[in-house]
Amino acid sequence: MESKSLKSRYVAPVALPTMGALGKTGAWRVLKPVINYDKCIKCLICWLYCPEGSITVEEERPVIDYEYCKGCGICANECPVKAIEMVREE
């Protein structure tokens, strides 16, 4: 197997900042958090406690990024008004 020639500008083991460094981790989920926006009081505690940072704030509302959400369930567990339900993935 022939070795290709080097075009990289880094000879040292350098890694560049990348979203999804391990891929689309949403595929890990068994349970999926679903926000009921009628109940949601926009306190953003779910955004604060999400270990993945896969809840973003859009127009002051929490929005879950299902491409990366690993389904840990912390948001549902911590929501003060129980507006988030963990639902089985299809």
Residues that bind another protein (CB under 8 A): 3, 6, 9-25, 28, 43-45, 47-54, 56-57, 65, 67-68, 70-74, 76-78, 86
Q: Given the complex with another protein, which of 17 and 88 has the nearer CB atom?
A: 17
Q: Given the complex with another protein, which of 21 and 38 has the nearer CB atom?
A: 21
Tell which residue, 82, 35, 28, has the closest CA to residue 52: 28
Q: CB of residue 36 vs another protein: minimum separation in angstroms?
A: 17
Q: Tell me if residue 78 falls in helix, strand or coil.
A: helix
Q: Given the complex with another protein, which of 15 and 38 has the nearer CB atom?
A: 15
Dihedrals phi, psi of 57, to nearest 5 degrees: -110, 115
- Report the C-alpha gap between 56 and 47 in whole angstroms: 7
